[in-house]
Amino acid sequence: MIEGFKRRFRPLSVVVLAVIWVMLYGEITSGNILAGLGIGLAVTVLLPLPSVPMTWTRINLWQLLRLAGAFAVDLVVSSARVAWIALRPSEPPRSAIVYVPMRVQDEFVFALAATILNLTPGGAVCDLDVANRRMVYHVLDGRSPDSIAAATGSVRALEKRLIAIFETDTQRAHTHKEKVTPHG
């Protein structure tokens, strides 16, 4: 029992949850701080989350900053594209489902790629096949092979950035061919 408590108790998480509790109440009092610490302790011990597996040995901060900048640009550009598709007087374009094999090896990085893609307008990750390292990606504008190739290229560019940030040379893996199934 004591060993399980030691494994579940994360002091930093307790403090962060306590700070959030105090911020929610908007008043720094001893009662709010104690209540926040108590709730933080209860949440971390009674509702534990698994530890994030940190299999990478380094994080390249310069590449992380480049990813943040590219993500900001992608948000603006893709939002404008989706707005144009929604507001233009013609029919909506055909969408497509793209099967994209992923080269990332770490499951955390794989999930992070899916999260970033889902946050960017114009596409959505429909399914993740972690065992086979494959992502099923819905592309809003799949009317031509060029538009599908552009969407797949943006997934590849994101994957390349994430590999540069999180994975070492020994973790970098093989390249697969993409398989595309249009749907409308």
Q: Is the pLDDT reported for residue 175 higher than 50?
A: no
What are the angstrom distances between the C-alpha of 135 and each of 90, 98, 122, 173? 30, 8, 16, 16
Q: Is the pLDDT reported for residue 178 higher than 90?
A: no
What are the angstrom distances between the C-alpha of 168 and each of 13, 58, 64? 28, 8, 14
Query: For residue range 18-76, what is the model confidence (pLDDT) as tens digits?
Result: 999 999 998 999 999 999 999 999 988 888 766 665 555 578 888 889 999 999 999 99
Global pTM reads: 0.65
- Domain covering 61-182 in this structure, CATH number: 3.30.70.920
Predicted local confidence at residue 123, as pLDDT: 87
Query: For residue range 109-161, what is the model confidence (pLDDT) as tens digits?
Result: 888 999 999 998 988 999 988 888 889 999 998 888 998 998 899 999 999 99
Query: For residue range 66-104, what is the model confidence (pLDDT) as tens digits?
Result: 999 999 999 999 999 999 989 989 888 899 999 999 888
Whole-number percent of the chain with pLDDT over 70: 82
Which residue is listed with tokens 């940190």?
A: 54
CA 161/CA 61 separation, integer angstroms = 11
Q: Where are the domains of the chain?
A: 2-46, 61-182
Question: Would you state the structure tokens that stand for residue 23, as one six-digit string?
Answer: 């911020």
Q: What is the largest CA-CA distance in the chain?
A: 66
